[in-house]
Chains A and B, each alone.
Chain A
Amino acid sequence: MIELTEVSKVFHEGRPNQCQALRRVSLTLERGGITVFRGPSGSGKTTLLTLIGCLARPTAGRIRLDGQLLSNLPERFLTEVRRHTFGFVFQQFNLIRGLTVLENVMLPAYPLGRPYHELRAAAQILLEQFGIGEKADNRIEWLSGGEAQRTALARALINDPAMVIADEPTANLDSARSREVLTLLGELALQGRTILISSHDPLVFAANHVKRLIELRDGCIAGDCPC
Chain B
Amino acid sequence: MSTFLERQKYLIDYTLAALRRRKARNLGLLLVYALLVFLFSSVLLLSQGLRREAAALLQDAPDVIVQRLIAGRHDLLPAAWLEPLRRIRGVSAVHGRLWGYYYDPAVKANYTLMVAPDRGLATHDILIGAALARIRQLSIGDYFSLPAATGQALPLKVAGILDPASELLSADLLLLSEASYRSLFNPPPDTFTDAVLTVRNPREARTVAEKIALALPGSRPILRTEMLRTYDAVFNWREGMVFVTLSAVLLAFVILAWDQAAGLSAEEQREIGILKAIGWETGDILQMKLWEGALLSLTAFLAGYVLAYWQVFYGGARLFAPVLKGWAVLYPDFRLTPAVDVQQVLALLAVTVLPYIVATLIPIWRAATTDPDAVMRG
A interface residue numbers (CB < 8 A to B): 46-47, 49-50, 55-56, 75-76, 79, 82-83, 88, 90-92, 94-99, 103, 107-108, 110-116, 155-156, 159, 167
Contact = CB atoms under 8 A, between A and B. Distances in A.
B11 A46 contact: no
The 7 closest A-B pairs by CB, nearest first: A113-B7, A83-B279, A113-B3, A110-B10, A98-B21, A56-B373, A113-B6
B277 A88 contact: yes
Most A CB atoms within 10 A — which of B271, B281, B371? B281
Interface-central residue, B9, B281, B373, by most chain A CB under 10 Å = B373
Nearest to A100: B17
A46 B281 contact: no
B376 interface: yes
B79 interface: no
Given A75-B282, A82-B279, A111-B284, A97 B4 contact: no
A167 B376 contact: yes
A116 B284 CA distance: 18
B20 interface: yes
Interface in B51-69: none
B11 A110 contact: yes
B218 interface: no
B375 A94 contact: yes
A112 B6 CA distance: 9
Interface in B256-315: 267, 270-271, 274-284
Give the interface size class of chain B.
35 or more
B102 interface: no
Contacts of B14: 107, 110
A114 B278 contact: no
B281 A75 contact: yes
A152 B3 CA distance: 25
A107 B377 contact: no
B372 interface: yes
- Tell me whether chain B's interface is mostly helix, strand or loop, or mixed: helix
B271 A90 contact: no
B373 A55 contact: yes
A50 B5 CA distance: 32
A103 B376 contact: no
A91 B378 contact: yes
Contact of A96 (B274, B276, B376): B274
A88 B378 contact: no
Contacts of B267: 97
Contact of A111 (B2, B7, B18, B277): B7
Given A113-B3, A115-B6, 6 more contacts: A55-B375, A88-B278, A94-B270, A97-B267, A110-B284, A112-B7
Contacts of B283: 76
B7 A107 contact: no
A33 B281 CA distance: 29
B376 A90 contact: yes
A115 B372 CA distance: 27
A43 to B, nearest CB: 14
B373 A103 contact: no
A98 B7 CA distance: 21
5 contacts: A46-B376, A46-B377, A55-B375, A98-B21, A112-B3
Nearest to A99: B17
A88 B5 CA distance: 27
A107 B373 CA distance: 18
A159 B282 contact: no
B375 A90 contact: yes
Contacts of A46: 376-377
A221 B280 CA distance: 31
B6 A92 contact: no
A103 B4 contact: no
A47 B376 CA distance: 9
B7 A110 contact: yes
A167 to B, nearest CB: 6
Given A55-B371, A83-B279, A107-B275, A49 B376 contact: yes
A94 B277 contact: yes
A88 B283 CA distance: 20
Nearest to B288: A110
A107 B280 CA distance: 9
A12 B375 CA distance: 17
Nearest to B5: A113
Contacts of B371: 55-56
A76 B21 CA distance: 29
Contacts of B281: 75-76, 79, 111
Interface in B228-282: 267, 270-271, 274-282
A94 B274 contact: yes
Contacts of A112: 3, 7
